[in-house]
Structure 1
Amino acid sequence: MEVWLIDDPKPELNRNLDLVLRDAADAVAAFRAEGKTVLLHCVQAQSRTPSVAALYAALHRGVPVERALAEVVEALPAADPQPFLVDAVRRIASTTQTRHDR
């Protein structure tokens, strides 16, 4: 599966940022549920890969979002997610958590 996610904070480059991140995390969950091995890949696993991985952990594994971000960054030596991606991961995770709490 290929996802169009640009590593640039300009909103016009990622018009549906939250949707794309959520779809990518949901795809990881779906593939894993089918027993598949999932490899996330971007240019250097610095920003997009850790962002999707952390969102997957938060949404589908029940890991608190801050812990998910910290653990993914710790596991990937070059990881340094762009602040706009970290903000989106937090926003999506908190919105989803709020909906689940209702």
Structure 2
Amino acid sequence: MAAFLALFGAIAFEIASTLSLPKTREFHDLPWTATVLVGYGVSFWLLTLALREIQVSTTYAIWSGVGTAATAILATVFLGDTMTWTKAFWLGVIIAGVIGLNLSGTTHA
């Protein structure tokens, strides 16, 4: 259970850092740049904690898949990105893949 908490913490920091990237103004705004870099650092640290109990393939698929889908949805809500039916469909495919990986077993052998 702790591994999944670490994984979802890693996802949260990755999403927050990615959504903050525009605030860095191409890394010219140093406080925002530092925030993004620290956020990604914390995300990777939490990811390594998750790897203690969850296979790399599953951990990375969940981290990147959920992170991608959530970032796309939140960027639509908060940053004005566009969401088309096609984009929504493929985000659903990503989510279905993550669910499928979870159902296929996620602990070390």
* TM band (smaller chain): 0.3 to 0.5
* TM-score for both structures, normalised by structure 2: 0.33
- Between Structure 1 and Structure 2, whose CA radius of gyration is higher? 2
* TM-score for both structures, normalised by structure 1: 0.35
> Which has the bigger relative contact order, CA under 8 A and spacing at least 6?
2
